[in-house]
Every structure is written in structure tokens, then in C-alpha cells.
Amino acid sequence: MRMKRRRAHAPPARGAAQERRTRGLLGDSPRNIIARLLCDHTIPLAAAASVCLVALSMVDATRGLSASKSQRQAMSALCSGLAAEEAALAAMRAKGNGLSSHATTWGLTARVERVRDLQERLEIVVQSSSEPARFSCDCLRGAAPSCFARPLTLGDRTGLGESSPAWLRGAFMPEAGPLPQLTLPPSYRSSLPGLFCDSEVAFLYMPTGTDRTDYTLGGPTDRVLPTPGTLVVEVPGNLWLLPAPAPLRFVLRAPLTLVVRGNAYLARSIVVEGDYPLTIVAHRCAATFRDLDGNGARSDPEPVLGDGARPVEGDGSLYLGHPGSAAGATREALEFRCHLVAYGEIHLLATTRLDGALVGAHGLTRCSPHADLSLTGRLLLDVSRARVPGFATSGGPRPGLLRREPRAVE
């Protein structure tokens, strides 16, 4: 009996007991299963780890080759651009009219051709080891006025004090002159898609209306597409951009300057599509006034600026916001991605952000206590290489900024 009892309670084999004990301690959770694999399958896991390391090494090598290729492409693009710059300068000095070839100091050959379509320009093809790089640039008579390289230029800064007020951001000290000089070409247009004469628009915002002819731009459409060859457009009266939920979009294939023979009332945001500048000029031909209350008509305390006959609405002034909105506590903010020039006074009636240059022959008047002005400077020009049609230039002929043309699709 004792012998049978001993055999019945004999301990199991050592391996099976250890396995059951291990399972009891570790359980069947994912972490514990991985632990058992590490204990029981060391050699296969080591082989798998080696394969993973080899794969990672191959990925790193591929990335290194790709980075090296990207660096070579960037260096090739840089050399092509420098060669095109050198060829453009040489072509402008040579004043040639036909096809010419230049061996540049960068070891690349550039072919230059003068093209006359919308305006005179250069087309440049640089031969490289991979594929030709194509560029173009305008042929400029000289440098544009220096005010288009500054965020704010005023002829009279007395209204702002010694430093910029809190409501004016982006121009710590507005600079004074020189102001741009208009030199309109012999032939320029007085029509633009979306520009219409409107004899009643002024009465919407001014009880007495205006003395001049009034024009609206935009109307039911949100896009202005000038006809080819249009560089300067004259508006023979006041220009109104009426409030609208969407901005007015100018689709430009060349620089465009709007010369307003009166006041410009801009109560709608402006966006420009394309790499060319839009400039709106309020041109003054007679006396004007500083509209302190922003109602569009002069009262006795408001100072007269200049000499000569003065229409009811003044002359050559710029309104950022429509007249009569100075008392409004909440107004839609305006954004202008263009340059604005006023040969009269600049009047601020709505919170405004301007990406281009703001130029005033006189001063800047804040008509509303709720209006702020932010000058970002994002669209300021390299005036030595930029074209602003309708303005006098300085210096000799030169190439404009290079534009890399997209590759031709085969």
C-alpha cells in the first residue's frame, strides 16, 4: 500500500513541471507570449533581427542617394539661374535684337532672344547637363520709384506725431518723399472689363452726391481680366469698389496701373492672381481737403489742401472704406494685395491690411476710432528690377526679375 501510494503521488517529469510553472506565472498575455518566444526561439529571432538591420541599412543608403540627387538638382538649378542672370545683363548691354548665344562664367551656354508681344522681354534658355532651363524677364527702361520699396511714404507726417500711433502697424516711422512722378504713355486705355459708369452710386453714401462722373468696378463679377497689352487704364472720374462678401480678383498677365482722375473709394478687398503688381492711383488735378469726419464732403473746420477749383468731394483722395462709415463700431476688415497711391489725402475708415506700398502726397487721416491699419510689406518691390507702368523711371536700361518658365509637356 505504501508503495502504491508513493507511485500515485510521484512528481511529474522535470520539463513538464517547469513548463506548467512558467505558464502559471506568465499567463497568456501578449507581453508574456513575447517573453516565452525570446526564451524558446532565440536563434530564429536573431536571424529575423539581422534581416531587419540589413533592410534598414538599404533604406538609409537609398535615402542618401536620393538626398544626393536632390542636392545635385538644387545646385544645377542655382547655376542655371546665375547663368541666366549673366546672359540677361550681357544682352541688355549689347542692345541686340536677334538671337544671341553667351558662354557664361558658370560653364553653361545661354541662348537669349528678344520678344515683343505684350511688352519687350527676354527669353533665355540655359543648356545644362540634364535638360535645358528656361527663363524670361522684362526689358526695363530703368528703376521704378523708390516709394514702392517702402511700406508707407507720406508728404506730411504731422498728423501722426513723432512716432507711429498704436493703430498703425508695420511702419515705425513713415518716410517722406520723393513721391512718384506720373509719366503716362502716349496711348493708354479708358476701359476695363467690369468698369461701368454709375450716376447714382455716390448718393448711396453722400447726401449731395459728387460733381464728377462716378464709376464702379466689379459689379456682379468677382474677376477682372484685362485685355492683352493693357498696362495703364485711366478712370475719368471717381472710382467706387462697393462692399461685397468676396474680394475683387484681378487676373494679371502683365503689370497694371489704374489712374483715377478723382477719388478712389475702396470698400471691397482686392486680390491679385499672377506675379505682376497692381497699382491704384488717385490722381489730384485741383485742390482737395482733409476729410476729418469721413463723410465725403468738406465742412468749415476741415483744412483745404492745394490751390485751384475744388469739387464737392475733393480730388485725388483715397478712402479705405466708404464715406459715412466712420461712426460704425463693427465693420468688415479690408485686405488689399496691391499698391495704393494718393496725390491727395489718405482716409482710413475701416480696419485694413495692405500687402503693398501705401503712398500719400499729403497725410494719413484716421476717420474712425475703430479702424486700424496693418502694413505687412509682403508685396514690396525690388524697384531696381521691377516695372510699375505709368511712372517715371531712373537710371539706365536693365533686365527685370527672372521668372523660371515651367518645363514643356511632351
State how far the Cα of 354 lies from the Cα of 338, in Å rounded to an integer: 7
Amino acid 3: pLDDT: 47
Per-residue pLDDT averaged across 76-101, rounded? 81
Amino acid 259: pLDDT: 96
Amino acid 95: pLDDT: 73
If one compares 276 and 219, the residue with the highest pLDDT of the two is 276
Per-residue pLDDT averaged across 95-111, rounded? 76
% of the chain exceeding 90 in pLDDT: 41
| pLDDT at position 100 over 50 | yes
Q: Is 345 helix (H, G, I), strand (E, B) or coil?
A: coil
Amino acid 7: pLDDT: 47
| pLDDT at position 65 over 60 | no
| pLDDT at position 185 over 70 | yes
Per-residue pLDDT averaged across 35-44, rounded? 54
CB 201 within 8 Å of CB 177: no
Amino acid 162: pLDDT: 63
| Stretch (H or E) spanning 223 | strand 223-224
Provide the pLDDT confidence category of residue 49 given band limits of 50, 70 and 90.
low
CB 373 within 8 Å of CB 354: yes
If one compares 60 and 362, the residue with the highest pLDDT of the two is 362
| pLDDT at position 346 over 50 | yes
State how far the Cα of 143 lies from the Cα of 317, in Å rounded to an integer: 26
Amino acid 182: pLDDT: 92
Mean pLDDT of the chain: 81
Per-residue pLDDT averaged across 147-151, rounded? 94
Cis preceding linkage at 178, omega within 30: yes
Amino acid 22: pLDDT: 46
Amino acid 2: pLDDT: 46
Amino acid 258: pLDDT: 97
CB 386 within 8 Å of CB 148: yes
What is the per-residue pLDDT across 357-380, written as a single tens digit (0 to 9) for each?
Answer: 999 998 899 999 999 999 999 999
C-alpha cell at 74: 538644387
Provide the pLDDT confidence category of residue 148 given band limits of 50, 70 and 90.
very high
Short-list 158, 161, 112, 155, CA closest to 134: 112
Provide the pLDDT confidence category of residue 25 given band limits of 50, 70 and 90.
very low
Burial (Cβ within 10 Å: 0-12, 13-18, ≥19) of residue 25: exposed
Q: Is 267 helix (H, G, I), strand (E, B) or coil?
A: coil
Amino acid 285: pLDDT: 84
Per-residue pLDDT averaged across 333-344, rounded? 96
Amino acid 338: pLDDT: 98
Amino acid 62: pLDDT: 59
Amino acid 235: pLDDT: 95
| pLDDT at position 131 over 70 | yes
| pLDDT at position 124 over 80 | yes
* CA dihedral angle for residue 143, residue 144, residue 149, residue 152, rounded to 10 degrees: 150
Per-residue pLDDT averaged across 108-115, rounded? 86
Per-residue pLDDT averaged across 10-18, rounded? 50
